[in-house]
């Protein structure tokens, strides 16, 4: 049997033939046991291949895919919002909120630290018999407070902050506070 | 509309739950595809992971001009072929294909199964796997995509960049080789 005929036989076994061709091959098979056996063999190969069933991934597979996908989307932009178009407008607002929160947090920490220092200083000094000790915040003059703001490390490291992914849209080095 | 395509459009619009659904639907088919294309199960999983990552990264550029599975398996096939070619560059002696991508009917590696392999799969399955993996690249892709991943000839033609009649011809030649290689099973010796 020629190769072309075998290909037709294969097409018949795989049900790939046009109805007219299929009819012709079927008629031929009725009188040709060799071709019948060949067509049957193609079908057997097909059935045999089905024994190689789908293969389950390892238990950690899904978690690994999620880990691989996250940095490029959901978690890279912190809130998972900016990986998708249409929500990018929120970035500047979030940056502003973060800067304000950071500023307030630093003020709070500084204030708390000074409050803790003041009683210690007061106890090491001889107490004036008739002057009651004032709360530490009230002891600070206006000039001293301005110096404190100027020395806030967060603002000094503005460039460092600007390197953060979310703050990268801010202009670099333009609002640095000089001492 | 094709349900997968709809899911992919949702992923493009930012719906991460739809990506989870695609992962759930295609985790087994993709891992199976790579494990059928390659002999190394660990590499197969790495490539399946990479395929999902590429789908996710390309979501913004996704255009629904073909079926989702055509797009997915085109990505997967490129990854598999690159991995196969990289391995050949590392160990040229292991390769047995000529420059036009046609292979001789020789196993890619030592064809004796290890005890470990036999514990995982039966000897019969091992013979089937060996016969398929010994096929030339394009024949192997055609058989695996059609027989196991259930893609039609038109989809396979698009993935391989050939005509539908060329795919049919690849498929026929692959079955001719498989018929010879699997003769012991077909004749009933090991069935």
Q: Give the pLDDT confidence of A95-110 residue by residue, as tens digits.
A: 678 888 888 888 887 7
Is residue A116 scored above 90 in pLDDT?
A: no
Judge if ipTM > 0.90: no
Kindly state whether A5 is in contact with chain B, defined as any CB-CB distance less than 8 angstroms: no
What are the backbone dihedrals phi and psi of residue B97, each rounded to the nearest 5 degrees, phi first? -105, 145
Query: What distance in Å separates residue B91's CA from the closest CA in chain A?
Result: 27
pLDDT of amino acid A86:
43
pLDDT tens per residue across span B26-51: 999 999 999 999 988 999 999 999 99
How far is Cα B7 from Cα B105, in angstroms, rounded to an integer?
41
Which one of A42, A69, A86 has the shortest CB-CB distance to B52? A69
Please say whether the beta carbons of B73 and B33 come within 8 A.
Answer: yes
What are the boundaries of each domain within chain A?
3-47, 90-121+137-167
Q: Count, in order, helices (H) and strands (E) of chain B.
A: 10, 0
Query: What distance in Å separates residue B190's CA from the closest CA in chain A?
Result: 11
Report the C-alpha dihedral over residues A110, A111, A112, A115, rounded to 10 degrees. Answer: 120
pLDDT tens per residue across span A8-24: 999 999 888 899 999 99
Domains of chain B in start order, with CATH, are: 1-95 (1.10.1740.10), 101-191 (1.10.10.10)
Closest residue in chain A to residue B57, using alpha carbons only:
A72
pLDDT (mean) for B141-166: 96
Residue B133 token pair: 């993996």
**E strand or H helix that includes residue A169:** none
Kindly state whether A144 is in contact with chain B, defined as any CB-CB distance less than 8 angstroms: no
- Rounded to 5°, angle at Cα B117 from B114 and B119: 110
How far is Cα B55 from Cα B79, in angstroms, rounded to an integer?
12
Chain B hits for A72, Cβ within 8 Å: 53, 56-57
Kindly state whether A86 is in contact with chain B, defined as any CB-CB distance less than 8 angstroms: yes
Identify the residue among A38, A53, A61 best suited for mutation to test binding to B, counting B beta carbons within 10 A and taking the highest. A61
Identify the residue among A17, A43, A69 best suited for mutation to test binding to B, counting B beta carbons within 10 A and taking the highest. A69
Answer yes or no: do B31 and A85 touch at CB < 8 A.
no
pLDDT of amino acid A101:
86
Is residue B24 scored above 80 in pLDDT?
A: yes
Is residue A157 scored above 80 in pLDDT?
A: no
DSSP letter string, A40-79:
HHHHHHHHHHTTS---PPPTTHHHHHHHHHGGGTTTTTTT
Place of tokens 């790495």: B46
Answer yes or no: do B147 and A49 touch at CB < 8 A.
yes
Say how many residues make up chain B.
191
Is residue B179 scored above 50 in pLDDT?
A: yes
Is residue B108 scored above 60 in pLDDT?
A: no
Closest residue in chain A to residue B44, using alpha carbons only:
A57
How far is Cα A145 from Cα A152, in angstroms, rounded to an integer?
11
Q: Using the 8-state DSSP alphabet, how is residue B59 labeled?
A: G
Can you list the alpha helix ranges (DSSP code H) found in B2-100?
3-12, 16-37, 41-57, 68-90
Kindly state whether A47 is in contact with chain B, defined as any CB-CB distance less than 8 angstroms: no
Residue B122 token pair: 């039966």
Size of interface A-B (CB pairs under 8 A): 98
Residues whose CB falls within 8 Å of the CB of residue B89, separated by 6 or more in sequence, listed in order: none
pLDDT of amino acid A171:
60
What are the backbone dihedrals phi and psi of residue B82, each rounded to the nearest 5 degrees, phi first? -60, -40
Answer yes or no: do B45 and A6 touch at CB < 8 A.
no
Answer yes or no: do A80 and B147 touch at CB < 8 A.
no
Chain A hits for B117, Cβ within 8 Å: none
Answer yes or no: do A7 and B35 touch at CB < 8 A.
no
Answer yes or no: do B179 and A42 touch at CB < 8 A.
yes
């Amino acid at each position: 049997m020629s190769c072309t005929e075998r290909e037709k036989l294969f097409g018949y076994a795989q049900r790939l033939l046009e109805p007219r061709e299929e009819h012709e091959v079927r008629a031929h098979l009725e009188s040709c046991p060799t071709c019948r056996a060949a067509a049957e063999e193609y079908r057997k190969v097909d059935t045999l291949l089905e024994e190689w069933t789908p293969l389950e991934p390892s238990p950690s597979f899904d978690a690994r895919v999620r880990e691989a996908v996250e940095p490029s989307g959901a978690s890279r932009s912190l809130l998972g919002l900016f990986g998708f178009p249409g929500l990018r407008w929120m970035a500047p607002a979030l940056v502003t909120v973060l800067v304000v929160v950071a500023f307030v947090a630093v003020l709070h920490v500084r204030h708390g630290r000074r409050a803790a220092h003041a009683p210690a200083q007061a106890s090491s000094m001889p107490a004036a018999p008739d002057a009651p000790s004032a709360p530490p915040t009230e002891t600070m003059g206006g000039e001293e407070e301005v110096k404190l703001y100027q020395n806030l490390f967060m603002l000094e490291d503005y460039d460092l902050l600007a390197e953060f992914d979310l703050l990268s849209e801010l202009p670099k080095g333009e609002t640095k506070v000089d001492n | 509309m094709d349900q997968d395509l709809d899911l992919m459009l949702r992923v493009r619009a930012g719906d991460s739950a739809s990506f989870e659904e695609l992962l759930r639907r295609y985790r087994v088919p993709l891992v199976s595809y790579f494990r059928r294309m390659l002999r190394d199960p660990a590499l197969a999983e790495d490539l399946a992971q990479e395929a999902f990552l590429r789908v996710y990264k390309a979501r913004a550029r996704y255009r629904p001009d073909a079926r989702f599975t055509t797009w997915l398996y085109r990505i997967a096939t490129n990854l598999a072929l690159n991995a196969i070619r990289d391995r050949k560059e590392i160990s040229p002696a292991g390769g047995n294909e000529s420059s036009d991508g046609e292979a001789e009917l020789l196993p890619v590696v030592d064809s004796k199964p290890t005890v470990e392999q036999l514990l995982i799969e039966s000897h019969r399955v091992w013979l089937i796997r060996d016969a398929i993996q010994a096929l030339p690249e394009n024949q192997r892709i055609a058989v695996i995509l059609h027989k196991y991943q259930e893609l039609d000839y038109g989809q396979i033609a698009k993935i391989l960049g050939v005509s539908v009649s060329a795919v049919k011809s690849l498929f026929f030649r692959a079955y001719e080789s498989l018929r010879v290689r699997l003769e012991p099973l077909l004749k009933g010796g090991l069935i």
